[in-house]
Structure 1
């Protein structure tokens, strides 16, 4: 799409404040088009040992879209976004060549983020085709990487059915991956992909939700990441008292090579995460294991990787010797502070080792505060420090962000 046209559409959307009728059904209510807009400002600071300069990335993202109501089961959405650098280019955005600075993967761009058509003839059946975000479960295998300024989207067709209460089955076929690095990066788009995503979930009372999946990725633009993964996941909770609740997440998967990958391998994935909620406090202990054999390792290239293995992003790619992440996570919903309700405080600790040879990779601490200012504006302050042992280098990151939704 022409960049000037996208800018014109975005500016026009800001001036709109109410749904606009555009077409009447043959019977019933008219179709309406609802505009929406989001603005995110973020300052990201990175101090990484071994890189000559510290990164300072001041960026803003403006996103706007139009979404229709349903007409005989049909609806549609189109969404564009602009990502702009504010200030000097004191960071490596992966396309500007500033390798003397640490990476902050938010390159400037203007692009089409989503454009899809949905058909929902009944509440039991839904089909959607076009450019779309796709988030499965906790986004460990498939996610939109919402933390970065540019989403990861798929050009895909998806069908979901709910044949009986508590059962959902879905299948997605994707032929293109639009990655967070943008179209100007050599790794920004994976074209001519052959991606099959199958997933079924079952509500098993009183245990929780059981999910089985099979993800088959043929990636000609990233052959070493082509794989087939089959797994099962269970998540649930049990009430302990009027204020306490037991939480649990268990997952196992096996990943094997798939053509055009030239390597042959079979790696296991394991997640064990018990937790407890008492009033406004939630505490979790976890063990995540991604197996490696010294040459290859289990990878999750379509995941929202920032959400796993620490916010310092040292393990976006699993080391060849594998990764074992033992972690603790605590979040607290704070009471009313200075007239603001809903502020959340979160703390993390990670202890990283290899699955092969038990190599000590390092430790990491992280903290997060999210504070809603009003119904449309929220502020975020986030911190992470990776203390390297026998992998990577010491890295400290700090973020401040403002998110506004209209």
Structure 2
């Protein structure tokens, strides 16, 4: 199962298409006529001060998204989604592809692209088969996600299967042929994802997974990752207890670094407090790697540790969240240390305030301030975001 030819995806697509093609074109046309169209916009101002760059930077970008999904016909439906990212002022920041190396990075390059384009087949019992460019978000996105915070989402050219035949169980498999990253660049893959989640326990959900991340290029990566995750909550009177535990190990061909997470929390009187400890370990100078993760969600919003330090990283964090006058508020503090050598890697404060206006509009303010420890440099980021969807 290590290598599957790319033709597998093409064969699955032909099989899915062949099912409805034998029927009258009028019925297929009706599936399109009954389809649903949606549009959304995200206007964002981002300001970054980074002591590691010669110049600071800011950006004012607009993300426009058009999505069309057909009605289902003979168990087959289709979805096409197009995104456009436009800088509303001069591009005076390093967007990851424009070569402005003296500027601070704001990885929101301009461009228009197909974000998703797939066929979905539901003709098998309790099963959905999806082929084409699609969104894949597994668990909390620590290993596989869409990096949805950035203006250009990460999506996958993939053949995926989701099955719910077993009681309280979801089985997911995907073969990824191509990854479309947040810079707009593509990377060829031979990646396999297995994820099985059981929700029948009275106190939480248990997930087991195997991910073989393999980037098919010179100096790419081949990472076999095995793990187990448990997450749940329990009511205790007026209080809700929250808990998560996760462990994974990764074979990179030479060493076997580990990952683990322990998180506990309490919801009481409208306030949620969490304390967590996350470790991406190192073995022989090679750290645990999460190449397809939504990394912005983890280890601080300043994105200081998108690449795991060679000596690994320990992240001790605490968060407090609530809602006041319809505004969601969240504050997070992180303390970082290298896993293998106990070097002080600094600390970070983060804060976000967000409010919805009806079903269609939203505003948010987000801020992160990273203070370097024995290594690195200080960095702060500010985001003002307005959204609309119809």
Instruction: Report the TM-score when normalising by structure 1.
Output: 0.87
Q: 1:173-188 alignment to 2 at 5 Å?
A: 173-182=175-184, 188=185
Q: 1:270-349 alignment to 2 at 5 Å?
A: 270-293=260-283, 295-335=285-325, 341=326, 343-349=327-333
Q: Whole-Å Cα distance in 2 between the matches of residues 69 and 235 of structure 1? A: 35
Q: 1:219-234 alignment to 2 at 5 Å?
A: 219-221=215-217, 223-234=219-230
Q: Whole-Å Cα distance in 2 between the matches of residues 229 and 30 of structure 1? A: 41
Q: Whole-Å Cα distance in 1 between the matches of residues 305 and 279 of structure 2? A: 12
8 Å CA contact 1:68, 1:76 repeated in 2: yes
| Structure 2 partner of 1:250 | 245
| Structure 2 partner of 1:356 | 340
8 Å CA contact 2:125, 2:165 repeated in 1: no
| Structure 2 partner of 1:18 | none
Q: Whole-Å Cα distance in 2 between the matches of residues 113 and 313 of structure 1? A: 23
8 Å CA contact 1:382, 1:399 repeated in 2: yes
8 Å CA contact 1:23, 1:32 repeated in 2: no
1:205 is displaced (CA, Å) by 2.2
1:373 is displaced (CA, Å) by 2.2
Is the partner of 1:181 in helix, strand or coil? coil
Q: Whole-Å Cα distance in 2 between the matches of residues 29 and 230 of structure 1? A: 41
| Structure 2 partner of 1:85 | 87
Q: Whole-Å Cα distance in 2 between the matches of residues 30 and 300 of structure 1? A: 39
Alpha carbons of structure 1 residues 23 and 64: separation in structure 2 relative to 1, 3 Å: farther
Q: Whole-Å Cα distance in 1 between the matches of residues 319 and 133 of structure 2? A: 34
1:164 is displaced (CA, Å) by 2.3
1:29 is displaced (CA, Å) by 9.1
1:123 is displaced (CA, Å) by 6.1
8 Å CA contact 2:147, 2:153 repeated in 1: yes
Instruction: Report the TM-score when normalising by structure 2.
Output: 0.90
| Structure 2 partner of 1:45 | 47
Q: Whole-Å Cα distance in 1 between the matches of residues 232 and 52 of structure 2? A: 43
The C-alpha deviation readout for 1:116-138, integer Å capped at 9, x for no partner, is 00011256111100000100010
Alpha carbons of structure 1 residues 350 and 297: separation in structure 2 relative to 1, 3 Å: same
Is the partner of 2:217 in helix, strand or coil? helix
| Structure 1 partner of 2:34 | 32
Q: Whole-Å Cα distance in 1 between the matches of residues 53 and 310 of structure 2? A: 23
| Structure 2 partner of 1:104 | 106
Is the partner of 2:296 in helix, strand or coil? helix
Tell me whether 1:385 sits opposite 2:382 in the alignment: no
8 Å CA contact 2:244, 2:264 repeated in 1: yes
Q: Whole-Å Cα distance in 1 between the matches of residues 70 and 218 of structure 2? A: 36
1:148 is displaced (CA, Å) by 0.3
| Structure 1 partner of 2:9 | none
| Structure 1 partner of 2:382 | 398
Name stretches of at least 5 consecutive residues in structure 2 with no aligned partner. Answer: 1-24
Q: 1:130-145 alignment to 2 at 5 Å?
A: 130-145=132-147
Is the partner of 1:50 in helix, strand or coil? coil
8 Å CA contact 1:190, 1:222 repeated in 2: no
8 Å CA contact 2:316, 2:335 repeated in 1: yes
Is the partner of 1:121 in helix, strand or coil? coil
Q: Whole-Å Cα distance in 1 between the matches of residues 74 and 269 of structure 2? A: 44
Tell me whether 1:240 sits opposite 2:245 in the alignment: no
Number of residue equivalences: 366
1:170 is displaced (CA, Å) by 1.3
Alpha carbons of structure 1 residues 125 and 50: separation in structure 2 relative to 1, 3 Å: closer
8 Å CA contact 1:31, 1:70 repeated in 2: no
Q: Whole-Å Cα distance in 2 between the matches of residues 272 and 47 of structure 1? A: 32
| Structure 2 partner of 1:14 | none
Alpha carbons of structure 1 residues 283 and 23: separation in structure 2 relative to 1, 3 Å: farther
8 Å CA contact 1:31, 1:71 repeated in 2: no
Q: Whole-Å Cα distance in 2 between the matches of residues 255 and 214 of structure 1? A: 10
1:24 is displaced (CA, Å) by 3.7
1:296 is displaced (CA, Å) by 1.2
Tell me whether 1:200 sits opposite 2:196 in the alignment: yes
8 Å CA contact 1:294, 1:356 repeated in 2: no
Alpha carbons of structure 1 residues 372 and 222: separation in structure 2 relative to 1, 3 Å: farther
8 Å CA contact 1:377, 1:404 repeated in 2: yes
1:146 is displaced (CA, Å) by 0.2
Q: Whole-Å Cα distance in 2 between the matches of residues 30 and 67 of structure 1? A: 8
